[in-house]
A and B are shown apart, each in its own frame.
Chain A
Amino acid sequence: MNPDDLVVTGIGVVSPRGCDPAALDLDGTAPADDSWFDATAELGARGYKYVPPAGRYLLAATRRAVADAGDPLAGVPEGERGMALGTNSGIAALIDAMDATITDAGAERLSPATAPYFSINTLAGRVAMDHGVKGWNLTLTSPRTAGMETLLAGARAVAAGRSAVLLAGSTEAPLPVHHPGHALSEAGAAVLFLEPRAAAAARGATPYGTCRTATFFLTTAERTVHEALARLVEDAGAPDGTTLPARLICDPCPAGTALAGHLRRLGVPADIVPPGAGTLLPFLHLTRGLARPGPPHLVAAASSDGACALTLVQPLPTPRPRASEQEPR
């Protein structure tokens, strides 16, 4: 095991599917309104009035992840903190409401203090202000896969020396009510805190495990897919003859069908899970996978436009804390 490898030492989730990462109910649909979220309990009574729902979810999930990791940021200079966020519909309803205002009463009736949030990167930007994330901050928006991609982009940035630690997550808020995809809306946020294995060990933190992501584009790329998959499956170190469990989040689209076929040919039969509108469901699956001790497994996602991502989740084989030298968390 490489001491530079990133391990997950904190998990934060706020979601209508639950807030305990190990006990998330990821079957079926979840309520697409805001009633499940207690902003005051999560964030306090004030300071976030102008922040749109996806931003509040992200702030709450980040607080939870940092607390769960044992408040490690005090030991990390601000310039060494990096953050990558995946989101698709985080501000879709806000944009729609702003557009309704502009085309009707005019832009002068927009709330000036809310106006910055027309730019989707302000969701993570607001979190950076609260947690002193000055190393770097990325917002990725690739359809469906962007949450998983934060783990790849974040690990790459840390490996390039751009920060020492990583906050990686996904946040979504419901699509506008009149959008044809509204019923598939997602709401909530999940954030992971990651640090090098050696750093976690040095401060006595018990990792949940690791996750590694690869991306590719289907259906154009037979060889790339095969290479990426083979590398991850090999890294999982599953003994010969055992099956690596996999969960694939996709529509019955050509890319999803092709990805399922590739997995099958590599001896990885995938459970196919219907997707939500955005990036959150795949991220919740890998979050729950990390929080539950067990064997390595794959979480895969394909978007109907062809982008695919695959994350190898390697949780602890047995429940934490596992070693007597670990300090209580």
Chain B
Amino acid sequence: MMKRKKTSIKNYITYAIALGAFAVMMLLIATGNATRHLQSMLVPICINIVLAASLNLVVGVLGELSLGHAGFMSVGAYAGCLFSLYMQEILPTAVRFPLAMLVGGIVAAVFGVLVGVPVLRLKGDYLAIVTLAFGEIIRSIIINLNFTGGAAGLKGTPQDATFPAAFIVVMITLVVILNLVNSKQGRAIMSLRDNTIAAESCGIHVSYYKLLAFVVAAFFAGVAGALYGHNYSILTASTFDYNKSIEILVIVVLGGMGSIRGSMIAAVVMTVLPEALRFMSDYRMLIYALVLIAIMLLNASPAFSKLKGNLKKLFAGRRGREEA
């Protein structure tokens, strides 16, 4: 009973952080303090949060490395944008845009099932390479199809993605994923990560729960893709190569495996950081790479983990005293 209370408080803190950040941003925009540049980053930040939170479900919670998240994103993006293009005359924006995201998500989820059923039999690095291969296949097929606009890209999607709309998508994603993680199903998924054999012998259906995590993640990747498509008026398949998948994976790892709040914060940092480094133009990627390596090395160094442990103890000690 105590335990459940604690996790729900943690979730509320996550929601509160998101809502607080949203309120601050809206205030800045309303008072005219937000630069155009900052405003243009808001929707991409939301997209990255959705992508990172959903990938974290597979990588952090299920414990399987997927390098094909951008593949699901592209499927969702094309499905959502094509829907919007055909329905532009028929439906009003307020109905069409949410529907387009839903269509993107569902189509991506269908692909998630199609890919997941055979692929989830594999383990570890083999799973990683097959998801990578799948992402690349999707990309080359999209380039070769006619109705997707081919290599030139899909043009003319209405730019419906606004910051409040994107934020609602983020909140829905957070609520669904956090509740899933803390549910019976979520615990089953985590048990597969910790020890598949033990979980199986306790009667947990391995392929069902693996597929569940995979398909939910694919769904939200598709939604994020549709959001992406409606933010830029042109959609090209080359955007969704394995570098995009790796970019999302980097966010997940930096934010902390299995921590949705961590993914959220890391998504903000990793979207803003490259933009903030833009003034150094040529050295941008160099610094990004160095920061990435430095963070990984720092995290692994014994001195740093000792410091982290001490800090935790310090805070825990203070809290313990307050409670007493």
Q: Does B associate with A? A: no
